[in-house]
Amino acid sequence: TGPSGADTPLVGPTIDVRPGETVRVTLNNMLPQDSTCGIGGGSANTRHCFNGTNLHSHGLWVNPSGNGDNVLVSIRPGVEFQYEYNIPADHPASTFWYHPHLHGSTALQVSSGMSGALIIRGDRMPTPTEIGDLDRLLKQPDGSDIPERVLVLQQIQDACTDSDGGITYDCKPGQVGGIESYDQFGPGSWPASGRFTSINGQVLSQLAPALAGSIERWRMIHAGVRDTINFEIRRKTGTAALRTLTAADTDRWIDQNCGKDTIPYGVVAQDGLTMAQVQMRQQAVLQPGYRVDALVVLPQAGDYCLVDAAAPAAASVNQIAPSHRLLGIVTAVEGNAVNGEIGTTYLQDWLISAAERTMAPDVAGEVVEDLKNDMRLSNFVPHPDIEPGEQQVVFKIDVKQPGGTFFELDGQPYDANRIDRTLPLNGVDEWALRSDFVSHPFHIHVNPFQIIKIIDAAGNDVRALGADDDGDPQYPGLKDVWKATLWFKNPGTDPSTSYTNTVQTRYQRYIGEFVLHCHILDHEDQGMMQNVRITLPDGHGGTVTGHH
């Protein structure tokens, strides 16, 4: 539970804001003093300064400098600092989140529950020349917003110590679990812990009821540190209660109490950016840092299981196929039952009707025709396609160096005093991204990117909707999608098995320094990160390096 008592969930408050507004967040570090936060603390690729902190507005397109989205400052115990996020008037309206980002303690703090949702709500009507906000379309007949759920998915891996000082997840009476060291992180540590992924600070949650047949917007945020979540909805067929369920019994419980058939839902946004069309999915794959917005219909009254489903080994950082885990239960009460197909009949018809009700006359016809054509959302996609230059990023865990394991980006561990990339404002680049050793989620701050190609080790592009990637559902459907975080897949431990992800990005509006990194946050803390500087062009094809 949270600091206010037993009824306070261990999750940060949801911040609601609109384009053009300013968010000020005062961060008052009241943690105890920490002797490891010494001079230069935060620059070494070791676990340190656990009680220092800062704040990252994950996915926001805002100023990375000063008191903006600045993750290069260290707020020590006893220090107060106010962040100020000036949200541009043309900022995409969707689902974002916030969390600490102090190099050396990021994973420990995020896995302790220090995160929350940040929702940008928009009301911009599309026009023949300007895109609009999807919020403007998702209205009920009376003009109110459709129901929504914000689902902050956390993996809080509290542990205790045994009589020999070793880590145990079986806390004895009187012991209070916690995360005291990075020994609790590593391949297989989350499933071995026996813990459950929480939803909004509660495990095995009974969510607020839904109305059968009602269309809801579910905003899913993977606020965990390292383990994949494969989100499915299934009809609950059994009567067993959740109260005594243990992780060891989860597979059996799901098999006995949750139906085999999944409930499809329409994914409309990835990482807070509206997609070019509604994609009907049986399962959404969320890697650490991912966000997925989906239109969900529970077709009939009854209970439904929210399941973290099994997945191929290559889809997980652990390189082993995870088992099922139960996330929670949601009950649909009697409403307008849906007996037919949800996607291209019920949901598509509803969206067309909503467009006819809500869209201005000069754009309504275009929006309706788009929706009739595979539920396309062209008038709501926040970024136009771009033409590129070139950049390259390679993740690697180097286990062959003397002195230990090194977590590297482009062959080097992180150095706080080194600028790895200096790029011009308004420049455009094509980035080739891959991992030479197992899989990693890549995240870059401030500017999102568009997915141009995802090529497997055999040379096949697997990003088209309906493509087959050996049963792994996470890449098919990402063709030309905009994101801020992307899985670099390597089913093996050498470059020959790596996928190559090609993305395009542009550096708009903001100059300053920020980072790109692996969003397995204990990897980031140990050096899998780079500094990026956006600066003014010099007028001759280069960049300005100083003020003279």
pLDDT, tens digit, for every residue of 426-442? 988 888 888 888 888 99
Give CA angle at 2 (111, 172), nearest 5°: 70
Question: What confidence score (pLDDT) does residue 1 get?
Answer: 42
- List phi, psi (to 5°) of 512: 130, -175
Rg (C-alpha) for the chain, rounded Å, is 23
Low-confidence residues in the chain, pLDDT < 70: 1-8, 38-43, 313-322, 386-410, 546-548
Question: What confidence score (pLDDT) does residue 77 get?
Answer: 96
Q: Over the stretch 44-86, which tens digit does the pLDDT of each residue have?
A: 787 788 999 999 999 999 999 999 999 999 999 999 999 999 9
Helix (H), strand (E) at residue 258:
strand 258-262
Helix (H), strand (E) at residue 127:
none
Query: DSSP states of 364-385 as a string?
Result: HHHHHHHHHTTTB-GGG-SS--
Beta bridge partners of 406: 398
> pTM of the predicted model, to two decimals?
0.93
Q: Over the stretch 331-343, which tens digit does the pLDDT of each residue have?
A: 999 999 998 889 8
Whole-angstrom distance, CA of residue 458 vs CA of residue 470: 12
Whole-angstrom distance, CA of residue 65 vs CA of residue 510: 9
Question: What confidence score (pLDDT) does residue 42 get?
Answer: 41
Whole-angstrom distance, CA of residue 132 vs CA of residue 527: 40
Residue ranges and CATH numbers for the domains of the chain are 1-120 (2.60.40.420), 146-156+195-357+368-382 (2.60.40.420), 390-535 (2.60.40.420)
Question: What confidence score (pLDDT) does residue 43 get?
Answer: 46
